Amino acid sequence: MSRKILCLDPDLTRIENIQRHLSRVGVECVRAGYSQDEQRYALSQLKEFEMAIVNAEVVWTRPDIHLFVYEIRKLSKVFPIVAYADASKIMCCSLFKRVGASSVITEDFLVTYLKSTLDRRNKKLQVYFKERRQAA
């Protein structure tokens, strides 16, 4: 089962770049809207996201997130949030933390972060199945 990222960003090119990187490490990038209006609509459909995306993490790429403080709070009750922000936007990063993002990472670390998380999960699964085989 591949890991899924819910990507909320109106910039189609940036989303495609992120998708290309993530597909190399087995992560599916789910797009949600290219305009702020579409994003607001998508966020209002949280129950659908909850049903469709299990253990999703949010990659949020917009610096103008003051508009979305309420939505981020609402999302953080449903998903663990990974806020993706430009390294130069320190204020943006601290705002992400204040509104409930579980971690804030930059584009440079996005793939590394996911790869290491996937590797840890795969090692745990290998140990689990090895123990099950030995017990049988």
Question: 76: phi > 0 → left, psi -120 to 50 → alpha, else beta; which?
Answer: alpha
pLDDT at 30: 63
Indicate the Cα dihedral angle 95, 96, 102, 105, nearest 10°: -110
Q: Other C-beta atoms within 10 Å of 61: how many? A: 18
pLDDT at 26: 65
pLDDT at 46: 47
Q: Order of strands across the sheet with 57-60?
A: 27-31, 3-8, 57-60, 81-84, 103-105
DSSP SS3 for 45: coil
Per-residue pLDDT of the chain (136 residues; tens, 9 = 90+): 455 556 655 566 766 776 776 677 666 666 654 455 555 555 555 444 444 434 445 554 444 444 444 555 555 555 555 544 444 444 445 544 554 555 555 555 555 555 565 566 556 656 666 676 777 6
DSSP secondary structure code for residue 34 in this structure: S
* Rg from Cα positions in the chain: 16
Domains and CATH numbers, the chain: 3-135 (3.40.50.2300)
Most distant CA pair in the chain, distance: 55
pLDDT at 135: 73
pTM of the full predicted structure? 0.36
Least Cα distance to 61 among 19, 113, 14 occurs for 14
pLDDT at 65: 42
